[in-house]
Structure 1
Amino acid sequence: MGETSAHEFKFLIADEASRGSYVKVKDGSKDWIFAQVVDVTRSNLAYSLNTIDEEKTEAKERVLGLARVIGVASGGRLAMPTNPPRPGDPVLRADGPLIEMALGLSKGNLYIGLLDGHDLKVKLEADSFVQKHCSILAKTGSGKSYTAAVVLEELLEKGVALLIIDPHGEYASMKQKNAKGEFAKYEVKPRGYDVTVYSPANQALAPHADRFFRFNGKKMTAREISAMLPEDVTNSQKGVLYEAIKILSSDGGDYDLEEVIAQAEKDTSKAKWGLIGHLEALAELGIFSGKPTNLGDLLQRGRASVIEMTGVPPDLQGMIVAKLLSDLFEARKRGLVNPGMVVVEEAHNYIPERGSGRAASTAIIRTIAAEGRKFGLGLLVISQRPARVDKNVISQCNTQIILRVTNPNDLRALSKGIEGMSSELEEDIKRLPPGTAMLVSNEIEHPVTVKVRPRKSRHGGASTPIVGERARAATKTRAEKGAKPASSQAGGGETGLSSGSKEKKETGGFLRKILGK
């Protein structure tokens, strides 16, 4: 109807059609113009302001659609249109094969879910997904961690090695198969996966972990230690550290972090106190005691290694992630570990946007985002606050999986960080129901809305009840679980938790001394 262009056209809707559905109209004699309905309006002249007080008039209701042209399907490819469709030509619903071909849904092998409103599977290409990075962004309660686990399941089935930074212990449940979901509709079968949970904390704080995660604390260089310190550490404090390491290195012994602290205490500069506080916090966590974890064990094909941060103070988590990823990236560049993907949950805590906070891990995650694809190390960042995540990292992610976002600051951040973000897409993102995602990818010709498939593994991110009988029942269950011996909850192995109670050394207790505790 009316004026048409090569970019959009209006058409009269004869039956039901909703925003987001796909239509086609002939381009000349053989090819189809493929378009998406971006708006639907309904009008009736009998009920206009001019006629509402007049005698009853026969209703003449019209439903109009506004379609945005995506391309012309020609020879199995999607080409840019050059001519507008003719007014008066019939507009038809797009069929499944045309939608799949035009959007590129069937090219990949990572099954994310079904195209909203259709029974068409949406798939991404695994190699491109890993090498070109991905972000999953959503507000709390929209299904962010659930969707992330769906992606991780697909990657594990394709033999990808995963290293997951998990602040809240949401991914250990991937070991067990799921019991709830529309499995037949989405054509999936429940199963568990090969997941090993590592804890940087001690046994008392993480009794359910499979293994301890430990660094080699012997003869660390000043540069290695500096990489673990917060960004607000001053040059004077770093000078104290470098001087202490220089003195210890000259003796030729295998010094550890405790000896670095003792040497720093001898310094005459007042700057030493802040430095010693940071070093003592690391030492008291026990992360440098016991047998160091082999980096090669963390990236095993078809397996997930989860670094669970439960029990680790927030300011120390960034330090641990900084050293872990720095060591891993260097090992990957030298071919000492398998290629794989690093998954950073609650990414706003580890790569905060300037002005939103500081983290020791920011620099290395930026480096992996910029250079990781050259060395076979992919990155998946997950966050509930897109505005607080470093924009340099988000802009390096070629695939964006966006669930419902309503915060204006977060929506503005998405607009800045994602190419082709339009006002219509913003409105769609604000209205997405839980479990439905907007998928924006270079591998797909146009952003699509996807009903995320059910997880095959059990979901461990459900909220804890805090009111009424369910809350009391949950508390009782946790108390019963806590009564079990720690040895029965921990995995075995050379670095298992069975010997963990003897691992943690007593430190000099510097903080307790100066605080009088």
Structure 2
Amino acid sequence: MDDLMGYVIGETSNTELNFLAKHMPEIGSYVSINYCDLEILGMVESVNQGCKIFEDVYNVKDFEKLKDFENNDSYYTIGKIKILGDVKNMQIPRIPPKPGTEVYDASEKILGEIFSKGTIEIGNLISADSKVKLDVNKLCSRHLAILAITGMGKSNTVSVLLEELNNIHATVLVFDMHREYVEIEAKNSTIRRNIIRPKINVYNMSYDALMSLAGVDPQATVQRAMGRRAMKKIKESKKEVDFNTVDEYINSIINELNYYMGMDEFKSKVDSILTLIMRFEDLMTFKDKITAINYNPIQDIKENYVNIVDISELDESSTDLIISYFTGEILKDRKKVLWDTKVAKPIFIIYEEAHLIVPQNRPTKSKIPISKIAREGRKFGVGICLVSQRPKTLDQESLSQCNNFIISKLIEPSDQKHVQHASENLSEDLLNQLPGLNVGEAVIIGPCLKIPAMVKIKRFEGEYGGEDVKFDELWTTEKEKNIPEFIESNELFNDDL
């Protein structure tokens, strides 16, 4: 079979070139060019088609007359190739090819050697049948960002990763904001799930964090000062094990604050103290779902399981506290394990809706521990994955620490530029492909692959909670329940009114 695609034309460089194509190539397809005893791999980044017959014709009648002379030989196709490196070492050649050099379709053997040597299968090349497998060591240690607009397959991508990671007995922790993965089930394998109820140890919380949980306004400086004083006094006199319940600990703080109420030096602060007491009383009533004592989240995490923290019922403030607490405790634990045993117990943490917890222009409690893991987590066996449909609002520093990207369709230029600033490997030409990607297609770049690839993410075979609601089906189902077609308006009101 003739796999000649065309010939190099025009001026060339060792990083990019143009070629005259024999047939229409697909954007994202791979080519090989042989010269100087090297086999060079390249990717088609753009394609232009023209016809000499119609050049400089701007009159419709003339155009229509010329169509009679139109045939397939009248058209030409010029493609632009980005040089990726020699097949053997993936190093950029030092000299460019000569014009006239033949350009061939890259063989399945070459593509298999480059894209199918990883650990976890993510999909197939858009332009070929070659499977794409990611290097899990570089994926997790160098961190990952999954970015796309809503409805382009982020949840499917995460589900595929969860199944693949589960198959190699990875320890994964997912902060599930929308109950997308709580009941995840795969058709061809058994995903070992461990659902974790989100809890936070009130004794181990910082003074300010506990007061934030209780709803104390950050600007209420007097309340916060009195709260810090009371908590510090309690911790100086009692250890965590001295308390059996959260209520016992909170009541000890309230009792200390009540004691201050009777002290002359605090007479001018009675109103503030009273308000603070009410906040702590409310904490026992409304925050009992997430508070705990004598608790560390590490005890709930199962090794070699997909651990899912269901935070779907929490408000944004509580979500931030939970994620901050879990993340900080995990990093401390992995450091301790490594120092004690010299063997890291790796864990991969997935943060859904990452733009809410590590936003670009406002502080959150989660920002500090997540940024810390992004900078130094790989040394302690902690990898992170940031998932977001709003890249431009995602913290640039944290995003730039993610060396691996799975990027689906992004339309807004501001989103595209934000991602490009974070990734040195996202070229302008690849950036231009993002708006044209279809559902389930993505550009994957980073050390988890030898070279960038445009990939059709495989469909997750099973069930998860991230798929769109079928409005028409649900409405039709309701219609079949014989709901009355018309209700007299006066039936809706009480006759006595």
Q: TM-score, normalised by structure 2?
A: 0.80
Does 1:416 find its partner at 2:401? no
Structure 1 residues 91 and 287: CA distance shift in structure 2, 3 A:
same
Structure 1 residues 475 and 297: CA distance shift in structure 2, 3 A:
farther
Identity %: 25
Give CA deviations for 1:485-506 in whole Å, capped at 9, x if unaligned: xxxxxxxxxxxxxxxxxxxxxx
Structure 1 residues 35 and 304: CA distance shift in structure 2, 3 A:
same
1:301 to 300, 303, 310: 303
- Counterpart of 1:429 in 2: which secondary structure? helix
The question of whether the paired residues in 2 share the 8 Å contact of 1:227 and 1:322 is answered with no
- Measure, in 1, the Cα distance between the counterparts of 2:376 and 2:403: 14
2:89 to 77, 80, 83: 77
CA RMSD between the two structures: 3.1
Deviates more, 1:283-292 or 1:42-51: 283-292
Residue number in structure 1 paired with 2:26 = 18
- Measure, in 1, the Cα distance between the counterparts of 2:461 and 2:400: 30
- Measure, in 1, the Cα distance between the counterparts of 2:479 and 2:326: 35
- Counterpart of 1:310 in 2: which secondary structure? coil
Structure 1 residues 474 and 439: CA distance shift in structure 2, 3 A:
farther
Equivalent residue letter for 2:316: P
Higher helix share: 2
Shift of 1:15: 1.8
Structure 1 residues 217 and 94: CA distance shift in structure 2, 3 A:
same
Residue number in structure 1 paired with 2:175 = 165
Structure 1 residues 228 and 128: CA distance shift in structure 2, 3 A:
farther
Shift of 1:127: 1.9
- Counterpart of 1:323 in 2: which secondary structure? helix
5 Å-filtered alignment, 1:69-468, equals 69-73=83-87, 76-101=88-113, 104-174=114-184, 176-178=185-187, 190-200=188-198, 214-218=199-203, 222=207, 225=210, 233-234=218-219, 236-252=222-238, 254=243, 256-261=249-254, 263-264=256-257, 266=260, 268=266, 269=269, 282-283=283-284, 284-287=286-289, 295-335=297-337, 338-354=345-361, 357-466=362-471, 468=472
Structure 1 residues 122 and 475: CA distance shift in structure 2, 3 A:
farther
- Measure, in 1, the Cα distance between the counterparts of 2:445 and 2:278: 45
Give CA deviations for 1:260-300 in whole Å, capped at 9, x if unaligned: 24544656546658866775665322146667655344432
The question of whether the paired residues in 1 share the 8 Å contact of 2:201 and 2:296 is answered with no
Structure 1 residues 16 and 152: CA distance shift in structure 2, 3 A:
same
Equivalent residue letter for 2:326: L
The question of whether the paired residues in 2 share the 8 Å contact of 1:296 and 1:338 is answered with no
Structure 1 residues 223 and 233: CA distance shift in structure 2, 3 A:
closer
- Counterpart of 1:34 in 2: which secondary structure? strand
Equivalent residue letter for 1:406: I
- Measure, in 1, the Cα distance between the counterparts of 2:480 and 2:230: 51
- Measure, in 2, the Cα distance between the counterparts of 1:289 and 1:408: 42
Residue number in structure 2 paired with 1:512 = none
Residue number in structure 1 paired with 2:78 = 64
What is the number of residues matched between the two proteins?
Answer: 444
- Measure, in 1, the Cα distance between the counterparts of 2:374 and 2:478: 40
The question of whether the paired residues in 2 share the 8 Å contact of 1:146 and 1:461 is answered with yes
The question of whether the paired residues in 1 share the 8 Å contact of 2:216 and 2:279 is answered with no
Structure 1 residues 116 and 238: CA distance shift in structure 2, 3 A:
same
- Counterpart of 1:91 in 2: which secondary structure? strand
Structure 1 residues 237 and 390: CA distance shift in structure 2, 3 A:
farther
Unaligned runs of 5+ in 1: 179-189, 201-213, 478-517
The question of whether the paired residues in 2 share the 8 Å contact of 1:404 and 1:433 is answered with yes
Answer with 1 or 2: which has the greater Rg: 2
Shift of 1:442: 2.0
Unaligned runs of 5+ in 2: 1-8, 482-497
- Counterpart of 2:122 in 1: which secondary structure? strand
Equivalent residue letter for 2:192: D
Shift of 1:432: 0.9
- Measure, in 1, the Cα distance between the counterparts of 2:423 and 2:140: 18
Shift of 1:215: 3.7
| Structure 1 outlier segments of 4+, above 3 Å | 50-59, 214-232, 234-238, 249-255, 261-283, 287-299, 471-477
Equivalent residue letter for 1:162: V
Equivalent residue letter for 1:461: G
- Counterpart of 2:432 in 1: which secondary structure? helix
- Measure, in 1, the Cα distance between the counterparts of 2:480 and 2:365: 39
Equivalent residue letter for 1:240: M
- Measure, in 2, the Cα distance between the counterparts of 1:447 and 1:273: 61
Shift of 1:465: 3.8
- Measure, in 2, the Cα distance between the counterparts of 1:261 and 1:472: 55
Give CA deviations for 1:230-278 in whole Å, capped at 9, x if unaligned: 9982565542222011332354363513432454465654665886677
- Counterpart of 1:371 in 2: which secondary structure? helix
